[in-house]
Structure 1
Amino acid sequence: MPVSISPLVWGQGPKLFEIFIEPTCPFCARALLKLMPLLETVGPDQMTLQVHLYSQPWHLWSPVVIRAVTAAQLGTGGREQAWKALLAIGAHRTEFVMEDHCSGPNMNETPAGILGRIEKLAGLELAEAFRSPLVTQEIKRQARYGRQNGIHVTPTFMVNGLIDDRFSSGQSVEEWKELLG
């Protein structure tokens, strides 16, 4: 079993752009697709992109989904595996949510079933890593970091360590670039 979590960080530029996401959230799923184009447009030498996973209680399978993505971060290639899982979940987000947040077919699902869906969609084996205490530690660290920064909902955007509510998932990559300055 690997002994470290790969951080979800891309680029090495002086402008720090952080986003707190929950991949079953429709707004986060939309924002996810803009992150790499933003990094490419701004330039990885000008911007550092950091993605934080942040569970949302009204998305009832959120803790399992967040744990699965965090499990994907374990070991070699973890960052890329986690990104692959995030994109797969975002593209199929309705398979991981309840109707009206409280009903529908997912009421009869199990955590193992949700994990199995993610593994199948992302083409990853996550069951062993899912049980790792490192995953628990990382989830707690992410939750503390979010709370310390006043994060309550997703997506939330931070620029250079401060929440910036000018950003929205409905904006274009070009609008994000302009807001970054």
Structure 2
Amino acid sequence: MGSIFSSLQSLLSPDTLFIWYNMALQPDLKPFIVAGAHDAPHTLDIFMDFICPYSAKMGTAIETVLKPAFAPGGKFGGKVKVILRQQLQPWHGSGLFLHEAALAVARVAPDHLWAYCLLLWKHQLEYMDEEASVLTPLQVREKLIGLAAEVIGKEKASEVKKLLEFRPHRMRNGGVSTSEEIRYVVRFGRQNGIHVSPTVMWDGLITEEPQSSWGEQQWMEFLTRKVIV
């Protein structure tokens, strides 16, 4: 199996390889490959919400367990990648703003997206239903821009701010510059029947094994069973 992948890698261009390995990820969402090599043959799609406590736990697992394991020299280096799939939960209205902001940071400073995601989870209590209920949407976005400045600096955060401004629209209902990506991630989740966060897919199929509470041992046992390259 490994020799087949090696042969394909030697024959195809990097751009073609990216499309082949990531058929269900539109190119402008490439920064959401948050762990592992972009051309890794196995894929963990993890559907997560920024104001979900269990997603925050999963984010910690990605940072402390999966990223080292999938990095060069790691036990599964070059074999598995993680795609962060945004899972908006409409019963938490403020969540939309966090997902919009993450998409804006992905455009402006793609290399810093994951650091921003970790910061969103760290501050998620500030955006829960009751906390956000006393803020206007503009105030929520200003707070998120302030968090972005902590990661990417004030100059680039000003670019994020521009992306989060309302677009001109004859019905005054044009959304912001990341609204098209929001539509994409929502539709992707819906067509795959995703409801709870986090939900994990292994090579395109939902698997109920991984839990947000898993530590290194459980993840290593799971990956040892699943990785075939």
Are 1:17 and 2:40 an aligned pair?
no
Are 1:66 and 2:93 an aligned pair?
no
Query: Of 61, 82, 85, which residue of structure 1 is paired with 2:116?
Result: 85
Match of 1:101 in 2: none
Runs ≥4 residues deviating over 3 A: 131-134
Alpha-carbon distance change, 105 to 46 in structure 1, aligned in 2, over 3 angstroms = closer
Following TM superposition, by how much is the alpha carbon of 1:6 offset from its aligned partner in structure 2, in angstroms? 4.2
> 2:49, 2:194 → 1: CA distance?
12
Unaligned ranges ≥5, structure 1: 99-103
Following TM superposition, by how much is the alpha carbon of 1:44 offset from its aligned partner in structure 2, in angstroms? 3.7
> 2:77, 2:91 → 1: CA distance?
34
Match of 2:214 in 1: 171
> 2:131, 2:221 → 1: CA distance?
42
Specify the code of the residue in structure 2 equivalent to 1:52.
R
Following TM superposition, by how much is the alpha carbon of 1:138 offset from its aligned partner in structure 2, in angstroms? 1.2
> 1:138, 1:68 → 2: CA distance?
11
- TM-score, L = length of structure 1: 0.85
Following TM superposition, by how much is the alpha carbon of 1:134 offset from its aligned partner in structure 2, in angstroms? 5.1
1:1-181 matched pairs, under 5 angstroms:
5-7=28-30, 8-9=32-33, 10=35, 11=37, 12-36=39-63, 37-42=65-70, 43-75=76-108, 77-78=109-110, 80-98=111-129, 104-123=130-149, 124=152, 125=157, 126-131=160-165, 135-180=178-223, 181=225
> 2:84, 2:50 → 1: CA distance?
11
**Could you list the per-position Cα deviations for residues 21-67 of structure 1 after superposition, in whole angstroms to 9, with x for gaps in the alignment?**
11110000110111133132143401111111111122220111111
Contact 1:22 1:53 in 2 (8 A): yes
Alpha-carbon distance change, 63 to 6 in structure 1, aligned in 2, over 3 angstroms = same
- Please tell me the root mean square deviation across aligned C-alpha atoms, in Å: 1.9
Unaligned ranges ≥5, structure 2: 1-26, 71-75, 168-175
Bigger relative contact order (CA 8 A; separation at least 6): 1
Identity of aligned residues (%): 25
Contact 1:30 1:169 in 2 (8 A): yes
> 1:165, 1:28 → 2: CA distance?
15
Following TM superposition, by how much is the alpha carbon of 1:95 offset from its aligned partner in structure 2, in angstroms? 0.4
Contact 1:19 1:157 in 2 (8 A): yes
**Could you list the per-position Cα deviations for residues 94-115 of structure 1 after superposition, in whole angstroms to 9, with x for gaps in the alignment?**
00102xxxxx342110122112
